[in-house]
Amino acid sequence: MEDCIFCKIANKKIPTEPVYEDENTIAFNDLNPQAPVHVLVIPKKHYASLNELDDEKTMAALLKAVKEVARKLGITDYRTVINTGKEAGQEVFHIHFHVLAGRPLKWPPG
């Protein structure tokens, strides 16, 4: 997608230091971290949100990438969030998993 910031990161049009990368996914630090660890995990292919993600291989690849991020960072306790739709807080319409860690996280989220 031409105007999608996360496609530009995935295509390396915006230089980004990956926390983890494989054939189908890339993970990188959030620009505005909400915790000491705040990594975003995205598929390289554009899907606007979880509602559009229909490829089971990519679904599995994303979860695997989340686990690889945790393993690489040496964290065992973390929260994984997918905001889907504006009302749920989604601002970037290229599906992404937030991986948050490094401080106690409250429940329920706001």
Q: Does 20 bind Zn ion (CB under 5 A)?
A: no
- Interface residue with ligand 5GP, options 4, 7, 73, 92 (CB under 6 A): 92
Q: Does 75 bind Zn ion (CB under 5 A)?
A: no
Tokens of 18: 């990956």
Alpha helices in 1-110, H assignment, sequence order? 5-10, 56-73
| Minimum separation from the CB atom of position 4 to Zn ion (A) | 3
* Annotated catalytic residue 96: yes
- Interface residue with ligand 5GP, options 3, 23, 31, 104 (CB under 6 A): 31
Which residue in the list 38, 46, 94, 96 is annotated as catalytic? 96
Q: Is 100 helix (H, G, I), strand (E, B) or coil?
A: strand
Closest listed residue to residue 48, CA positions, set 16, 13, 4: 4
Q: Which residues contact 72 (CB under 8 A, 6 or more apart)?
A: 19, 20
Tokens of 31: 């620009």
Q: Using CB distances below 5 to 8 A depending on partner kind, what does residue 41 bind out of Zn ion, ligand 5GP, none?
A: none
The binding site for ligand 5GP (CB under 6 A) comprises: 5, 28-32, 40, 83, 89-92
